[in-house]
Chain A
Amino acid sequence: MVEEDLPLLSVVGLTKFYGRRVGCIDVAFDLHPGEVMAVVGESGSGKSTLLSLLSTQLEPTAGSIRYRMRDGVMRDVFALTEAERRFLMRTDWGFVHQDPALGLRMAVSAGANVGERLMAVGARHYGRIRGEALSWLERVEIETDRIDDPPRAFSGGMRQRLQIARNLVTGPRLVFMDEPTGGLDVSVQARLLDLLRTLAADLDLSVVIVTHDLAVARILSHRIMVMRQGRVIETGLTDQVLDDPHEPYTQLLVSSILQV
């Protein structure tokens, strides 16, 4: 880590206004390879706007996002050609939505959902694509005999795991996650969290995860960024921010966690 100290993603002065309404203001951070950063805050804090900006679904009003391409060069993601940006989204980046229906094609088979992303980066050999899809279903703990079933026939937890497989099959280096465990039963959540934690570590993924659930941030992330009213109000090592929060709003968030 001390040896290769170059960030993968570098964000400076990132600002978004919707007309006169604030999305986010002056957000800045570096994300390094293998680093998992949680963005926490309540709805309206700007965390979803931030994720949409980072994943280039929204254009910022001001500021820059630079990403280290596979050739090692830092490029401004909004200065990329449309083809370059699409290539990033399909291969080097992943996006895990809270609602798996947004990240999956619900009517085609599980195998095709995973294989499709491989084909988008040029895989053509049917047997190899199917083999790869099978191994990813196993990795995300989906019975391999479900490969020909569409995700419509899956439970919520299985759909979410399939969405993760679809994202990771191309070997991305950066994955965005929007409340990936939201709306799932607690026991299903625990399994998914453990899976995400293991995969992120094994694959040395850089992750930006937006969540309002501090327990999720505690288990998955190395660092936390707390947002409120569009601004970053506190950042730091995850256990530091959660165990010794400084800002009034962070103290309120931490003290609002229900103890079991």
Chain B
Amino acid sequence: MDRAVPAAMIEVESLDKTFVMHLRGGARLPVVAGVSLSVRAGECVALAGRSGIGKSSLVKMIYGNYRCDAGAIRVRDVHGIVDVAQASPRRILHLRRTTLGYVSQFLRVIPRVSALDIVIASAREHGAGPELAASRARAMLARLNVPQRLWDLPPATFSGGEQQRVNIARGFVAEHPILLLDEPTASLDAVNRAVVVELILEKKAAGVAILGIFHDEDVRDRVADRILDVTRFAAAA
């Protein structure tokens, strides 16, 4: 492979998505049409466009969380290239474990699992042994200023900001070659925002391909190599 041009890790081609709301008399809610984009290793592409234009839906389709009506979502993993739009549930889960990281501002809390264990579990998915995973998890929680007295507690009772930082720790402690970020810095204070910017820049330097939505223009300008305005893919309503 040509060293000068890193491999495309994500290649989206002609993606269409319309929600059909059967409980609203089959109302059709077009989201995006004809989306094509690619993200290379070590590159950060920021999705832009006004709220409701389909940025989050697009990221969710690449993660396999939303389905698409047409098009291809080719993601590169160690086994080759997988089309998320066609892959089996098992293949998508494997892809998420090994390759595809996703960080939103919301933590889905599992009853009884502590903040530290959530982050350790994520570190372990990449084969880090229990000791190494635990030390990396602790370092990541400390770096994101999650108070140590909270580490052994389940995050259900944490503040929104604390939950968000646990979620960021979980996403960044893993070593996914691709990271999807959906407003990771929303509602963080300046100190923690700066930590997240550093984390993103480190991932880029390590060759991670990043596709993100950043509401904060200052953050976006510091991390993004390219900005892609999703408005041009907005489906005609």
Contact = CB atoms under 8 A, between A and B. Distances in A.
| Same complex | yes
> In the complex, which range does the number of interface residues on chain B fall in?
20 to 34
Contact of A197 (B21, B64, B94, B110): B110
B65 A246 contact: no
Contacts of B111: 190-191, 193-194
Contacts of B22: 247-248, 251-252
A255 interface: yes
23 contacts: A1-B90, A32-B90, A35-B90, A190-B112, A191-B111, A194-B112, A194-B113, A222-B93, A223-B90, A237-B64, A237-B93, A238-B89, A240-B67, A240-B89, A243-B60, A243-B66, A244-B67, A246-B67, A247-B22, A251-B21, A251-B22, A252-B22, A255-B23
B3 interface: no
Nearest to B92: A237
Contacts, number: 55
A246 B20 contact: yes
Contacts of B79: 2
B23 A236 contact: no
Interface in B67-121: 67, 79, 89-94, 110-113
B64 A191 contact: no
A219 B111 CA distance: 10
Given A236-B89, A252-B23, A219 B65 contact: no
Given A240-B65, A243-B60, A251-B23, A191 B112 contact: yes
Contacts of A116: none
Nearest to A186: B111
A243 B89 contact: no
A240 B64 contact: yes
B66 A240 contact: yes
Query: SS class of chain A's interface: helix, strand, loop or mixed?
Result: helix
Given A194-B111, A239-B65, A240-B67, A248 B23 contact: yes
A1 B94 contact: yes
Contacts of B60: 243-244
A37 B231 CA distance: 38
Interface of B: 19-23, 60, 64-67, 79, 89-94, 110-113
Given A191-B112, A240-B67, 15 more contacts: A2-B79, A193-B111, A194-B111, A197-B110, A223-B90, A237-B64, A237-B93, A240-B64, A240-B89, A243-B65, A244-B66, A246-B67, A248-B23, A251-B23, A252-B22
A219 B113 CA distance: 12
Contact of B89 (A223, A244, A248, A252): A223
A239 B104 CA distance: 15
A248 B27 CA distance: 12
Interface in A227-260: 236-240, 243-244, 246-248, 251-252, 255
A150 B168 CA distance: 47
A41 B25 CA distance: 22
Contacts of B113: 194
A236 B67 contact: yes
A246 B113 CA distance: 32
A120 B23 CA distance: 52
B176 to A, nearest CB: 16
B76 to A, nearest CB: 14
Given A191-B112, A194-B110, A2 B94 contact: yes
A92 B21 CA distance: 43
Contacts of B94: 1-2
Q: What 5 A-B pairs are tightest by C-beta distance, nearest first?
A: A248-B22, A190-B111, A237-B89, A244-B66, A194-B112
A197 B112 CA distance: 12
Nearest to A187: B111
Interface string A189-233: 011011001000000000000000000000100110000000000
